[in-house]
Structure 1
């Protein structure tokens, strides 16, 4: 057929690989089961607003090489991620910082805030955190844990915080400054005109053919026979017919509305941290690009349990699942003509810059 590579999935990992392969003169076929390219970073224009179809995506990195790489494909604005938390109508700044501590406790100095957290940590008798609940209390005390962590996290993961591994919350930013910037990364922004254009440009080479609404598993054996090499970005356990059992994922459901108001919530992302509200956050898309359109588009994000056939969004990287993944990883290493990549192929939570970095590492190894 003349192709050098079949790429399964047109998300960031597959598209970076396709772009780099075509630059080196390789012929590539990209297939995707969805009816559009760009995977979960897909954006589409609604009411002249770029809507993040699969949840909020904010690009951030400390790696200048990755930042320069992605800026080849789009101009980025100066958007700074500063989400807020709504707890039963009370509004708090995220990440947890001096603005949060001041509103909650009336403290003004970092020393006062640290003393308050230490006092609550001692009262909770947390010495060596063994689970997410204990880890969170050790970082921010019981008040913030109860109002801003517990309900949100248990909705997100569908488990009690005391049953979740501590490492999930270790990336939780806690700042003793009056700074609402969620990320400390040097480079941050949103592509002006949305993310889809990035993948369109990556896949624009005449050496790349794209086939949408195409399920790899309908013709899996033929694909593996016909193509010299396959880059697979789907679920690794599905590739091996779940022979060791099913890895666990969390899914999401999105409810999007066009509203006849100019400004619905005053911020791009508002997290709902109480247990009673069924969604975890509301995204108002226009604020990612400082929009002034007369209408607005909002999306409510509902975490959901996952079963086969549902869209998998987050790997459940607890001990049991990580051990099961190792078995699949060992199987993958015995299939030399298949490269497994991306969040599902590597069963790992990746931010966008990490996906690009992982893809470029594979490219370097493949074309050295």
Structure 2
């Protein structure tokens, strides 16, 4: 708070001094007092009032400056600023500070309630997902033990339900990676093969052939979360295949490139590329946005816009980066980048 803002907020006091000066001038002038003496008295009153205002400004400036600095420094957690402010000296500042503390406490209570409700809901979703897997697995067995056209079609739909249930589980867990998160050396080939087995039915039904290239390398990550990410990319490759291609020519290639970009830093790129319908250029910058379906989602398949959003969120939380390039009619390529320092590799 600068002095001009302070004076603006003390307009009544300034007007009071001005009115008193006018009244004093009129009274002394009528009484026949010398003009020099009148102006001397008025100047003395103005000087005393100005000194008082400056002293009060200096006294208050420290409190407001500290509060402003705390608000700026804490940014998104500005509601915690009152707890870091100095004890106010004036009654007005004390009332203001108490009001801020009360609001801060109310906000923290609401945040605590919200976190508790969110945690309980997440735990319920996780429990529900684990419970629903049992009847889904039983239904799979029934369909496999009674093969015919109807049960085969039912088994396909069960696989889709299973995929969506798994997506719901990872969506719920995505806000609390620390509960189910383990970074360790992982073979990329093993993780990719697990994802292929999980989504084999979707790829077979879509007539998309998987190709694995140069995956004999390891990275430090969580295998379960990485497997889910790869699964989502494989499902997209099956979902957005080109219908006009001859049978057996649709493919999705999963490969890896490992290189040392600088002294002590190694980069591994996991690349998932398909020859599907591709993504329109105007949609590329938004494919990782939550609930964004784009032109392909509206034209070719029912899409929720959650899969790639989850992929991006999980990559970010695990310290990975993901990028996408695409050409309509030629295919789409996703690149997941793992950056590891030599210290990480030695610890492994």
TM range, normalised to the smaller chain?
under 0.3
TM-score, normalising length: structure 1: 0.20
Q: What is the TM-score with the length of structure 2 in the denominator?
A: 0.21
Report the structure, 1 or 2, having the larger helix content: 2
Considering only CA atoms, is the larger Rg found in Structure 1 or Structure 2?
2
